[in-house]
A and B are shown apart, each in its own frame.
Chain A
Amino acid sequence: MADAACGPSNPLQNFRKQTQTDRSLQQDRLASRNQPAQGFRSSPGPNAGILDAEFEAFQNGAPIAIPPQDLHHGPVHGAQPFQPQQFSGGPSSSAWATDFQRLHISQPPPLQQHHHAPQPTTTSWHNDFIQQNRSTSSHLSQTSFQPQMSQQYPSTMGYAPSLMRTAPMMHGSSLEQSGFSQKGKEKEAFDDAAFERAFEMHASQAFEEQAQFEAQEQASREAAAADELHRTQEQQSARSHYEASMDPLKEWAQAIKENEVEETIHNIEAERLREEPVQEAQQHLAPPDVDQDLARTAGELLERVADDQNEKFLNSEFFSLMRRVRDGEATIRDGQMLDGDVRNFSSPQYHAPDDWDKD
């Protein structure tokens, strides 16, 4: 490599350089390049309450007994809708909700696999499923899963997400976007359809296996290795956690049903609007905000020359400014240097409540 030939550019040397320069400041500097137009921490939005609970539920693999149509409130308002799956470009909320329902039956097994049902030994996985499909009744209908839904609770947090995300593959509406072939629409459709079929079979077999496995799990727990046992126990405790938290969710679901949500959202918005002018007024009166990062950097800078007893350094204007910045007597706001020193003083400007640059 040309680089290696030009002198001792051995990585160890480079590493040495890198460890000696405090690269953290560099990283900070690099980070500053991509100043986002919007702040990273966006306001929670009107759906804050709902979304948190939904997310909670998702995390816990809990069933959310919401009729799909009520959830229009969530995504429609646009602020940070919680999208559980990634395949569909524009999911209808029904698909999404159905996924949640599907979540009930998507009980991923603990990682112990030793006592699984015997697998067909064909090398091709979709052949497996085709065979399976022949041997079992079709599982394509959602309703057939309902009875299982109520009986079984998802047991871990581990597998729920993955299955949840794969589940939408089953839905015709999302498949257009999830075609794999790039060769042309027809081919794409063909591939998609075939894939979908195969995938359905695969997934259905997976679900069935899951059911079988669940039954077996009880019997084979004793035989599990220490690691797997521990994991199973973890799942157990998660399960009981979930049960304990069921009640608040029920209440929340109830509230949704009764359309209280809309009012809540409205209230939150209104309050926020009310608050803003107050904040503005306060800004004029409050002492100027101190840029903490700047103060810290000024402090670091001063530390670097702390040992220097040179008179010029002690009397330096620059370093006394740095001291003022470090101590909060001077700062930078709104692109202005605000300094206790009268010479540099400038009056505080209007300060918008969300100053994204400072994040």
Chain B
Amino acid sequence: MPVFKTPFNGYSVKFSPFYESRLAVATAQNFGILGNGRIHVLDLPSSPSPQISELASYDTADGVYDLAWSESHESLLVAAIADGSIKIYDLSLPPTSNPIRSFLEHSREAHSADYNPVRRDSFLSASWDDSVKLWTLDRPTSVRTFKEHAYCVYSAVWNPRHADVFASASGDCTLRVWDVREPGSTMIIPAHDFEILSCDWNKYDDCCIATASVDKTIKVWDVRSYRVPISVLSGHGYAVRKVRFSPHRQGLMVSCSYDMTVCLWDYMLEDALVGRYDHHTEFAVGVDMSVLVEGLLASTGWDELVYVWQNGTDPRAF
């Protein structure tokens, strides 16, 4: 299976929504504690070969914590930088012209970026400054700032169906659901007793959302009856860093954790843990499922490796 070695420690990996073989990786020097960062845009080999090639890379002054591909332009990338800035990169332009935008509004680390899949014209950033910001490519400043959380916001994700709805996961232990047209959050779910590091909507059920927490569990919620989760998925040995719903199967999810593993879950099954991958040798911090190729997974971690493999196969096999 293809593998790519990054010079810095991996933080996030995202498949391109336009090209089956393309993915972007966010990395940070010194485990993201301090130093520079780098974005890699990678192409998977067309013929079976272990080598992933790099299409482009961009250096940043501080670690890159997350990226999001544009849904409107195949060559645009949004990056969330540890210095609080949000930068836009255009692959079709030479490296010297990049980044094409740099928005510095967050007063602390920007931790996640997510592009609106319905409207395709806007994106969110979530920051350790407790706020979420809404941006469009054409405006020099943020469109809106959502400041309600009492602690770091680790993730803000758009609802796959409703153009104006998104959810945010925070260190204040709540998941909040928002409608950008409303001034405040529309729902506050005290989903865990510990920090919530990631959330993602079910691509087939727009009321279903998963939260991943420091308490080592992933909880699946129906936002309509949020007192009790639909399911609590235990199995990770440490905090769960990221969770993603499959674009192809309703109950399927992938997660990665400080326990250095990537796990596959089907919350609709009695025994939800359906797969575990132990390939990383440091914290597994980024994971994604391809929209264009069913079952294709990618993960990255602090071991400076990016793996891309088909679910059910061994990521390290050649």
Contacts and interface: CB of A to CB of B under 8 A. Distances in A.
- Binding between chains A and B: yes
Contacts of B195: 21
Nearest to B176: A6
Contact of B188 (A3, A310, A316, A337): A3
Contacts of A26: 151, 171
B193 A20 contact: yes
A20 B35 contact: no
B312 interface: no
A77 B144 CA distance: 47
A321 interface: yes
A17 B188 contact: no
B190 interface: yes
Given A9-B188, A337-B33, A17 B193 contact: yes
Given A318-B283, A337-B33, A7 B193 contact: no
Contact of A312 (B30, B108, B194, B260): B260
Interface string A1-36: 011001111000110110011000010000001000
A349 to B, nearest CB: 14
Interface in B102-119: 107-108
Nearest to A13: B190
B173 interface: yes
Interface in B85-106: none
Contact of A7 (B227, B238, B283): B227
Interface string A318-344: 100100000000001001010000001
Contact of B281 (A14, A312, A332): A312
The number of chain B residues touching the other chain, given as a range, is: 20 to 34
A317 interface: yes
Contact of A316 (B107, B173, B187, B281): B281
B31 interface: yes
A7, A9, A20, A308 interface centre (most CB from chain B within 10 Å): A7
B33 A17 contact: no
Given A7-B188, A312-B281, A318 B34 contact: no
A249 to B, nearest CB: 49
B31 A33 contact: no
Given A8-B227, A312-B281, A337-B34, A318 B302 contact: yes
Interface residues of A, number: 28
Nearest to B173: A17
B226 interface: yes
Interface in B182-210: 184, 187-190, 193-195
B34 A317 contact: no
Contact of A6 (B31, B35, B188): B188
A332 B35 CA distance: 10
Nearest to B129: A33
B227 A337 contact: no
A128 to B, nearest CB: 51
A337 B194 contact: no
A312 B237 CA distance: 13
Contacts of B187: 6
A33 B107 contact: yes
Nearest to A23: B151
B107 A335 contact: no
B302 A33 contact: no
A33 B226 CA distance: 34
A9 B35 CA distance: 39
Nearest to B259: A310
A337 B35 contact: yes
Contact of A17 (B194, B226, B303): B194
A315 interface: yes
B59 interface: no
B121 interface: no
Interface in A28-55: 33
Contact of A33 (B108, B189, B238, B283): B108
Given A6-B226, A308-B237, 7 more contacts: A3-B188, A6-B189, A17-B173, A21-B194, A26-B151, A310-B237, A337-B33
Interface of B: 30-31, 33-35, 107-108, 151, 171, 173, 184, 187-190, 193-195, 226-227, 237-238, 260, 281-283, 302-303
Q: Pick the 7 closest A-B CB pairs, nearest first.
A: A6-B188, A337-B30, A17-B173, A17-B193, A312-B260, A318-B282, A312-B281
16 contacts: A6-B188, A6-B189, A7-B227, A13-B190, A17-B173, A17-B193, A26-B171, A33-B108, A308-B237, A312-B260, A315-B281, A317-B303, A318-B282, A318-B283, A332-B33, A335-B34
